[in-house]
Amino acid sequence: MFGRYKTLTVFIIASITVHIGIWLGGSSNRAATVSGLYSPEYSIRLIETNSRSSQAKTEHTPIPNYKDQATKQPQSKMALEDGVNSKPEKPDASRVISALQRQLSKHFFYPNMARQRGWEGTVVLMVKILPDGKIQRISLEKSSGYSLLDNAAIIALQKVRQLDPAQGYEYTFTIPVIYRLEG
């Protein structure tokens, strides 16, 4: 019967309409996704750092802006070389954090199975970062009550294998991750 051809015709019309929709709604390339739905306007605040030389200094840093960081990639690379070669006296906290935040943001997710079931909770993770920027250990300090959420947070951090730039210092953080549903 005609049925199949009609469906095909509708499909073609539909595809064209969708592309018009995409065009109206804005570009669909990756960059747009990163700056759009992955809106990078988040912040991070370091309260305390602990250096390998045990000369711990508490530093309050201004909130770095991700957009600025993203557009200054070459500078970050220079900073990386500086970090490795000259072993700075004190850790550049904002760089560690901006590296962390940039890389974390790509990986955190809310598992669909948990969203569907309305599961919420707070996972507390402990993370150790080696002087070369590698994440050496992630451990579960406190469960959210759901292993699905605990695992999702751990997986998110595991994906951040190497922090860039390297610091020349070792850090151990606890990171509370709150999973919260809205609407």
Partner 1 sequence: MKLSPIGLLVSAVLLGSIPNIHAEEQSPVVVTATRTAQTIDSSLASVTVITREDIENASADGILELLRNSVGINVSRSGGTGKSSSFYLRGTESDHVLVMIDGVRASSATLGTFGWENLALNQIEKIEIVKGPRASLYGSDAIGGVIQIFTRKTRNLHADLTAGTENTQSLNIGIGGGKDWQYSLTAGVYETDGIPALESTTEDNGYDRQYATFNLTGKLGQSTTLTTTSSYSDGTNELDAATGNIRYTQGTSSIKLTNKTTTDWTQSFNLGYALDRSTSYSPFNPSNIITRRYSAGWQHDITFNRNMLTLGLDQWQDNATKDNSGIIDRNITTSAAYTQYQMDFESNDIIIGARVDEHEIFGQHETWQMAWGHDFDKSFRFVLSHGTAFKSPTVNDLYWPNSSDVFGGTTYISEGNENLKPETSRTTELSLRKTYQGGNSSINLFSTKTDDMIDWVTTQTGPVEFTSRPTNINSASIQGAELQVNIKKENWLVSASMTYLDAINNATNKQLDRRPQSSLGLTAKYTNGSHIFQTELTMQGKRTDRDGSVNLEAYTVVNLVYQYNINKQWRIKGTVENLFDEEYVMASGFLGNYNTYGLRSFLSITYNGI
Question: Interface residues for partner 1 in 67-96 (CB under 8 A)?
Answer: none
Q: Which residue, 51, 58, 44, is CA-closest to 98?
A: 44
Give the chain's largest Cα–Cα span. Answer: 81
At its nearest, how many Å lie between partner 1 and the CB of residue 79?
A: 19
According to the binding rule CB under 8 A, does residue 182 interact with partner 1? Answer: yes
36 in helix, strand or coil? coil
Instruction: Kindly tell me which of 90 and 109 has the beta carbon lying closer to partner 1.
Output: 109
109 in helix, strand or coil? coil
126 in helix, strand or coil? strand
According to the binding rule CB under 8 A, does residue 26 interact with partner 1? Answer: yes
Q: Out of 133, 150, 160, 165, point to the residue binding partner 1 (CB under 8 A).
A: 150
According to the binding rule CB under 8 A, does residue 110 interact with partner 1? Answer: yes
In whole angstroms, what is the distance from residue 48 CA to residue 27 CA?
A: 41
According to the binding rule CB under 8 A, does residue 126 interact with partner 1? Answer: yes
According to the binding rule CB under 8 A, does residue 61 interact with partner 1? Answer: no
Q: Out of 145, 158, 159, 162, point to the residue binding partner 1 (CB under 8 A).
A: 145
How many Cα atoms sit within 13 Å of 91 on the Cβ side? 33
According to the binding rule CB under 8 A, does residue 1 interact with partner 1? Answer: yes
